[in-house]
């Protein structure tokens, strides 16, 4: 199978991990879970940079690792995935990395260069993601808290620590997934209320979030820097 098939497959996984609860009909009255999710949603409106990483074992033979970094100040978004398929009939071991700067997507090539190309996850405009974060609407980076609040049954779970940060688990049941119901768990920070971890049961996927509003910057492709310099000079 060629790389386009695997890129499509991983793109579907990204959407499944991040965009949850489509066609859901459950409603939650204004309880503790909804209030805590509203605090978290308000906190995410202030996010301008974040790193995330996902590990998924969707089947016994397929292992996928994904990571993405968003830096609003650079209008940049980096995405990388690594897929290993051990089934002899469709064995694969593939890696793809891309950086979105403004409206342009750059692909990391085998010769270590970056070339404009078609994204594996479709059109991803960093400024659009940052705008959705600021507005508190569902985006392509953090859990879809607004959708969960409107359409999920939320249950309070236990406290735990993720990457050294204390958080509380909240279990969310929504319509979706192969069996009709999807069971997600979101661990919200005890102090900052931001998502630290999310799991999606039917994808056997775990996503962690870190470096909220950190000082890190992405190393942008030379072509993107030259384009930005040209725009600056023309203004």
**Domain extents in the chain:** 3-217
State the residue for tokens 């609407």: 137
In our burial notation (b when 16+ CB lie closer than 10 A, e otherwise), range 64-75 reads: bebbbbbbbebb
- Encoding tokens for residue 59? 């089947």
DSSP β-bridge partners for residue 161 = 166
The rounded mean pLDDT for the chain is 85
Across 23-27, 44-48, 183-187, 228-232, least confident range:
23-27
Enumerate residues 6+ apart whose C-beta is below 8 A from 194: 40, 43, 44, 47, 188, 209, 212
What is the per-residue pLDDT across 187-199, written as a single tens digit (0 to 9) for each? 999 999 999 999 9
CATH of 3-217, one of 3.30.1600.10, 3.40.50.620, 2.50.20.20, 3.30.365.10: 2.50.20.20
Q: What confidence score (pLDDT) does residue 21 get?
A: 35
On the question of pLDDT at 229 being above 90, the answer is: no
What is the per-residue pLDDT across 160-184, written as a single tens digit (0 to 9) for each? 999 999 999 999 999 877 778 889 9
What is the per-residue pLDDT across 60-91, written as a single tens digit (0 to 9) for each? 899 999 999 999 999 999 999 999 999 999 89
Q: How many CA atoms lie within 13 A of 154 on its CB side?
A: 26
For 120, which DSSP code? Answer: T
Asked if 221 and 104 touch (Cβ cutoff 8 Å), the reply is no
- Confidence tier at 13 by pLDDT (50, 70, 90): low
């Amino acid at each position: 199978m060629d790389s386009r098939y695997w890129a499509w497959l991983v793109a579907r996984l990204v959407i499944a991990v991040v965009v949850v609860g489509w066609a859901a009909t459950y409603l939650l009255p204004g309880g503790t879970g909804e209030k805590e999710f509203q605090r978290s949603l308000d906190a995410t409106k202030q996010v301008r940079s974040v790193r995330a990483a996902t590990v998924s074992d969707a089947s016994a033979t397929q292992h996928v690792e994904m990571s993405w970094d968003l830096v609003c100040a650079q209008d940049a978004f980096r995405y990388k995935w690594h897929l290993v398929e051990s089934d002899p009939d469709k064995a694969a071991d593939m890696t793809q990395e891309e950086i979105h700067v403004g409206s342009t997507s750059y692909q990391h090539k085998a010769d270590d260069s970056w070339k404009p190309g078609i994204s594996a996850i479709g059109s991803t405009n960093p400024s659009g993601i940052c705008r959705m974060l600021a507005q508190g609407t569902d985006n392509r980076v953090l859990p879809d808290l607004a959708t969960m609040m409107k359409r999920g049954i939320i249950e309070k779970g236990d406290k735990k620590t993720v990457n050294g940060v204390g958080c509380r688990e909240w279990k969310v049941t929504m319509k979706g997934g192969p069996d009709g119901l999807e069971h997600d768990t979101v661990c919200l920070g005890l102090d900052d209320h931001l998502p630290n971890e999310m799991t999606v049961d039917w994808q056997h996927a775990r996503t962690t979030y870190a470096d909220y509003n950190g000082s890190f910057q992405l190393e942008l492709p030379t072509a993107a820097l030259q384009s930005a310099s040209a725009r600056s000079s023309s203004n």
